[in-house]
Amino acid sequence: MKKFLIIDDHEIVRRGLKLLISDFYPDAQISEANDGNSAVQQLKENSFDLIILDVQMPNTNSFGLLEYMITRNPETKVLVFSMGSENLFGKRFIKSGAKGYLSKEAPIDEVKKAIETVLNGRKYISEQLIDTFLDEATGESQSNPFSKLSDREFVITSFLLSGLSLSEIANRLHLQPSTVGTYKSRIFEKLNISNLIQLKEIASLYNFSQQAL
């Protein structure tokens, strides 16, 4: 019997995935979590064959949660399920330890293929993401300034774009506001910008969506 954990803050997404998984694996045991805290509680109480992780949830640092899961059990199989750009977010999550990255716009057949691939111990990478990796390896990819950011800077950039203040970001990430301010300065320096208006402009240019985390 396969054991799954679906981590997503939208009930309709969890129910949809649950129905699909039950169709693929009729005897599957499927658990749910709607944010990072409830996911951590589930992980403390159970082990899972596959974890399907959304990366846009309230009060949840998606990279931190992924790191926690892998640190707790290096064999953890995590399939990221997101609306974020595969070219920008997929590569980063794969490099951070996820076994696959799947767009929420993917057809059902691809969802099934991704789940089966990861369950069988292999990585699932879409054709679009394969092209991204190949372009990067051959030096043909266009330089994306957001690729210069660390994972923490990446998360803070997303929060800045969503309109959160430094204090609100600090509260979510359990940091001091001054520390977040330092990260913000580093982000602006790496992106060669000086204000939030320019951050929004460059985010739009490179399809960086704050809704992806």
* pLDDT confidence tier of residue 138, bands split at 50, 70 and 90: low
**How far is the C-alpha of 150 from the C-alpha of 93, rounded, in Å?**
12
Supply the pLDDT for residue 184.
97
Q: What CATH number is associated with residue 200? A: 1.10.10.10
Whether residue 127 is found in the same domain as residue 183: no
pLDDT at 89: 78
Based on its alpha-carbon atoms, the radius of gyration of the chain, rounded to whole angstroms, reads 17
Residues 89/55, Cβ–Cβ less than 8 Å: yes
- Closest Cα to residue 53, out of 44, 45, 168, 40? 40
Mean pLDDT of 149-158: 90
Domain that holds residue 115: 3-137
Instruction: Select from 102, 137, 172 the last residue of a domain.
Output: 137
Residue 21 has pLDDT above 60, yes or no: yes
- Same domain as 132, residue 88: yes
Query: 182-192 burial, b if ≥16 CB within 10 A, otherwise e?
Result: ebbebbbebbe
When pLDDT is averaged across residues 30-54 and rounded to a whole number, the result is: 95
Rounded to the nearest integer, the mean pLDDT of the chain is 88
Check residue 83 and give its pLDDT: 81
Q: Is the pLDDT of residue 2 over 60?
A: yes
Q: DSSP character for 124?
A: B
For residues 189-205, give the mean pLDDT.
Answer: 90
